[in-house]
Structure 1
Amino acid sequence: MSRYTLIAAYTESWPVQSFYQLLAMSPASYYQWRQQPACAPVSWHIAAQAAFTRHAHRYGTQRSRAALRPFAPTSKPPSASADPVIPRTTRPRPAGARSNRVAAP
């Protein structure tokens, strides 16, 4: 929660001036924030929240980037490689490969 949303949520209970002093901010910045139009959530943000929730809030950085790749800006030309990049964490372990965990004594 941003400090502006905090102030907006508690303006009926507490005087706004006390928030300015408590949060060390100027009144002008709060009123400027209030005048901005509310923006709709971006599509990648909705997809990220859905993926995070679907995987019990345990979705790592590499998997998140792979899941959100379709929403990335297309300013760069596609790479010359025909194979898609698969995050390391989603590759299956080769048969017979040993784990890198150390057994407890």
Structure 2
Amino acid sequence: MKICTLDDLMPDTPRGFDLDDGTALLLIRRGDRVIAWRNSCPHRGIRLEWQPDQFLDYEKQFIQCATHGALFGIEDGICIAGPCPGEQLEALSVEVRDGEVWLRLD
């Protein structure tokens, strides 16, 4: 399933997407690579952002849950601070093909 084009993503700036099936996700572009996480806190099961596309902490080093401040690694999704240490965001598999970002459904 096509999500967007690579050009729709600014480097190191997360962007949220809602799929037709109700899945909420966030994408982060790192060069020509894209990291994808389900937009759901493993502690509360709620969306992570406090405003559209606002997923990072003040220093832009971690994904931050807007509800309780948990911090998750951008690359590995592991919680390093907050009420769910050691828990992890759910990774989604995406690939970049011909400048487009596709969700892998396998």
Shorter-chain-normalised TM-score: which range?
under 0.3
The structure showing larger relative contact order (alpha-carbon pairs under 8 Å, at least 6 residues apart) is 2
Greater radius of gyration (CA): 1
- Compute the TM-score of the two structures, normalised by the length of structure 2: 0.22
- Compute the TM-score of the two structures, normalised by the length of structure 1: 0.22
- Structure 1 or 2: larger helix share? 1
- Structure 1 or 2: larger strand share? 2
